[in-house]
Amino acid sequence: MTTANNLLHEPLCVFAGIYLVKITRSEIAAQRISVILLVDQITNSVRNLHCFSHQKEANNTYNCENLGLTGVPDTLPNTTEFLEFGFNFLPTLENTTFTRLVDLIFLDLTRCQINWVHEDTFQNHHQLNTIVLTGNPLIFMAETSLNGPTSLQHLFLIQTGISNLEFIPSQNLENLESLYLGSNHISSIKFPENFPTQNLKVLDFQNNAIHYLSREDLRALEKTTNLSLNFNGNDIKGIEAGAFHSKIFQSLNFGGTLNLSVVLKGLQNSTTQSLWLGSYEDTDDEDLTSAMFDGLCEMSVESINLQKQYISDISSATFRCFTQLQELDLTANHLNELPSGIEGMKALKKLVLNVNIFDQLCQISAASFPSLLDLSIKGNKRKLDLGAGCLKKLENLQKLDLSHSDIEASDCCNLQLKNLSHLQYLNLSYNEPLGLQSQAFKECPRLEGLDLAFTRWYVKGPQSPFQNLHILQVLNLSHCLLDTSNQHLLTGLVDLRHLNLQGNHFQDGSISKTNLLQTLRSLEILILSSCDLLSIDKQAFQSLGKLSHVDLSYNNLMGNSIDALSHLQGIYLNMAANNIHVIPSHLLPTLTQQSTINLSHNPLDCTCSNIHFITWYKENLQKFEGSEDTKCANPPSLKGVKLSDVKLSCGITAMGIFFLVVFLFLIAILLIFSVKFLLRWKYQHI
């Protein structure tokens, strides 16, 4: 189901310089002509087209997108609450358009070629919470067009051709919390005098033509509290002094602005929790100087994002006004080191240094950030040397992400992670081969999550590298080319709840009775997909009594492998894309006691040899996901038919009964003649 939160992704794509659909005025005219011609060919029966009801949600959610509709289908229930009606043809909205759907809460009318929204269009929709008019070439909205809903909170007018805020009807917007006006032609954010802004929490002006912000423009926002204000992609060239004076914001976004000194100077005496000053791949880089950040000393801010900026004269003085920051994002800043001697940044809790060009971990000057809890150096563009004790001053660090950084170490990881005794999450995925010592993470006994996915590693000692991780709960070892024959590999993980072994291989394609999983008695989620498994011993998972989620998809398992789960109840079982042809009837009780099952993309037999399973499947459809792709493979006449649609007749046919009667009749005659022969022989020999 689409929600107001989901729709936030559309503006995010737009201000990243990516347009999924970019429509010019000439294109709109051409599209309208083609749509009109199409509609002329549609018969009246189109109004009875069936909309899709989301199966995983309540029946009051319907998707009628892209069906060529010109009105509400007669098949749509009156009780519909969430309606996705985008990409149809509704040039005019009137008070009769949706009058039958009085329970509407969410209405998405994206790209329906709407030009006119008349008076009292939503007068009967008192519960309507969200209206999406994205991508409609609006010409007119009546002042009372939004009257009716008692709690309209979210209004999307993205890409609607608006050039002036007076176009937006102001009646009945007292409860409005979010207003999205991205990708329009707005040059001034001055609202009409009576426009209700007091409850606004999100105001989005991204990708408009706003270049100057005056005190008069901002006066309408004086009553708002904790507002998220987005000017992304507008290239602000000037801000009147005092425009933001004493104003408090949740977040401010000036992404894509070339002259950041104008922004920082204009924000003097303001307060915001988050300040976004990043740039983009399709934006020309402009070198920043340390002096540009002097304006930060005159405002209160907790988090700053400087994505894809470049500070030409970076030094310890650059960070003079960063002392109150709690979060700092310097992604893709062309950094090969952070200067030593940075002072006063004891409040910093999160530091992001992704996609830079460090050679060694010690080059980040970790000692300058003693209170750091979260450090990310993901996607480093050079091979990153972990060094020795480079992070030892970060004794409070809880989260460390070093993934995608070409890290290679033959003797890991105690020396490299020295003094990180509070570390709870470590990501070393997508790196070069690592040699892990016995108790490789002895310096991090409080680890709760460890990700080594797609990093090949080998054990350098006789003991498990995880032996001291007694509270580790999540371990990702997918595609690590593990030695799964080592039964002691996972020893010590007494509290492990989630284990991902996807893409690893077991000897002879089989999980035997004695295996590396036996010590994981607390395990709840086990992922063994794409492991080329052929079979699983009946006792293989016997010690894993707490399992609630088992993923065995994309292997070559047969139906009898289900027997390994006979001791489990209420689990989610994914056996999609295996080699299951027939499921014997004695295994049906095992399936019956599970909560959700996926058998899609298996070559299932739809013959009488599988009749017991097919019958049981139809009786338990509510247990299955992927039913649309659970199809027959045999016999050829039923190939591709959904299992739920198969009808087999496996009893004795009329012809069979005829031959059976004939057979029994012949047997009876033979028996009679045999008795008569025996009796005659007996009398002849008296």
Q: What is the mean pLDDT of residues 558-572?
A: 96
DSSP 301: E
pLDDT, residue 10, reads: 36
Say if residue 580's pLDDT is above 60: yes
Q: Calculate the average pLDDT of the chain.
A: 89
Note the Cα 563 to chain centre separation in Å.
33
391 near 369, Cβ under 8 Å? no
Say if residue 124's pLDDT is above 50: yes
Give me the half-sphere count of Cα atoms (radius 13 Å) on the Cβ side of residue 54: 15
337 near 311, Cβ under 8 Å? no
User: In 291-429, which ranges are E strands?
Assistant: 300-305, 310-311, 327-329, 350-352, 374-376, 399-401, 409-412, 425-427
Note the Cα 72 to chain centre separation in Å.
31
Q: What is the mean pLDDT of residues 266-290?
A: 88
pLDDT, residue 673, reads: 81
Say if residue 555's pLDDT is above 60: yes
Say if residue 15's pLDDT is above 80: no
141 falls in which pLDDT band (50, 70, 90)?
very high
pLDDT, residue 280, reads: 84
Q: Which amino acid is at 581?
A: H
pLDDT, residue 19, reads: 27
Q: What is the mean pLDDT of residues 333-361?
A: 96
Residue-wise pLDDT tens digits, 466-486: 999 999 999 999 999 999 999
Residue in 557, 581, 576, 555 with CA at minimum distance from that of residue 627: 576
Residue-wise pLDDT tens digits, 167-190: 999 999 999 999 999 999 999 999
Comparing 119-123, 377-381, 654-658, the range with the smallest average pLDDT is 654-658
CA distance linking residue 253 with residue 404, whole number of Å: 28
Residue-wise pLDDT tens digits, 426-464: 999 999 999 998 899 999 999 999 999 999 999 987 789
Residue-wise pLDDT tens digits, 303-324: 999 999 999 899 999 999 999 9
654 falls in which pLDDT band (50, 70, 90)?
low
SS in 3 state form for 136-150? CCCCEECCCCCCCCC
Residue percentage of the chain with pLDDT more than 90: 80
Q: Going by C-beta distance under 8 Å and a sequence separation of 6 or more, which residues neighbour residue 2?
A: 82, 84, 106, 108
Comparing 84-93, 191-200, 286-295, 577-586, the range with the smallest average pLDDT is 286-295
Q: What is the mean pLDDT of residues 638-660?
A: 79
Say if residue 26's pLDDT is above 80: no
686 falls in which pLDDT band (50, 70, 90)?
low
User: In 209-335, which ranges are E strands?
Assistant: 212-213, 227-230, 238-239, 248-253, 271-276, 287-288, 300-305, 310-311, 327-329
52 falls in which pLDDT band (50, 70, 90)?
low
Task: Tell the CATH topology of 497-645.
Answer: 3.80.10
Phi (first) and psi of residue 28, to 5 degrees? -60, -45
Residue-wise pLDDT tens digits, 78-117: 999 999 999 999 999 999 999 999 999 999 999 999 999 9
Say if residue 40's pLDDT is above 70: no
Residue in 55, 53, 56 with CA at minimum distance from that of residue 81: 53
pLDDT, residue 651, reads: 64
DSSP 312: T
Residue-wise pLDDT tens digits, 523-553: 999 999 999 999 999 999 999 999 999 999 9
681 falls in which pLDDT band (50, 70, 90)?
confident
Residue-wise pLDDT tens digits, 215-226: 999 999 999 999
114 near 86, Cβ under 8 Å? no
pLDDT, residue 50, reads: 58
pLDDT, residue 565, reads: 96
pLDDT, residue 49, reads: 47
285 falls in which pLDDT band (50, 70, 90)?
low
Cis peptide before 635 (omega within 30 of 0): yes
Number of C-beta neighbours around residue 164 at 10 A: 13
Residue-wise pLDDT tens digits, 392-420: 999 999 999 999 999 999 999 999 999 99
Q: What is the mean pLDDT of residues 642-652?
A: 85
Residue-wise pLDDT tens digits, 482-517: 999 999 999 999 999 999 999 999 999 999 999 999
